[in-house]
Structure 1
Amino acid sequence: MGCRFPGADTPEAFWQLLQQGVDAVGEVPALRWDVDAYYDPQRPMPGKSYTRLAAFVDDVDQFDPIFFGISPREAVGMDPQQRLLLEVTWEALERAGLAPDQLVDSPTGVFVGIGSSDYGALAGVQDYTT
């Protein structure tokens, strides 16, 4: 098993977070965006947020494209959720003691969940494969 959640990047850390009742929601980090530029306590205000709080997954910018046989140029255009999926899948295989070539013709199941897929619209659709 592999996972990434706000405040937990392993199944054990996630379980500990749940057991301790930790709230992973906090102030929006300055590295993510300028919360002051988008904050407005009035709701609903188009293009604004009425909260300064959010929950973020750490280290989403640490993807190693070469490890996965992906060019750095192509990786820039990938949805961060795709990059995290590759990392977490690899971690799950490692934790299970499985090499990828062992999965060929095996009865292996993969279960994936995402919350949204708006990265392409936000980043502008570009062809990073050439």
Structure 2
Amino acid sequence: MNRLQHIRGHLLADKNMNIATTPPSPLTTHVLNTAQGVPGVNMTISLHRLNPISSEWYLLTTGKTNDDGRCPGLITKENFIAGVYKMCFETGKYWDALGETCFYPYVEVIFTISDSSQKYHVPLLLSRFSYSTYRGS
């Protein structure tokens, strides 16, 4: 039974989410701890948008990754507009919780959204001394 629940979690992206009432986010992420080969669970992520006039970052939302390393519901389709965004991953606290140290206490991924009607996926592949990201599908 536990294996079926684990698979269900992967399929639903969040075991506690009600799909009928929660619209999908046009921006998603997935944190993978590549050093241990597991999802990056319980990592705090904040999403910011750059004000092009003042050049200041505005916090849009914060969340934590679930058991699958995903953070559903980052932003609604209505609030997702063209612009420059930043996702800040609190990697230092994540590694601290695992009893480990790391070189990068934060990872900030800055990207440009030109067509807000598309879906964007920004995964983070993470180890204690390196990280990688890319635009996924």
Quick check: TM above 0.5?
Answer: no
Q: TM-score range by the shorter chain?
A: under 0.3
TM normalised by structure 1 equals: 0.26
Larger radius of gyration: 1
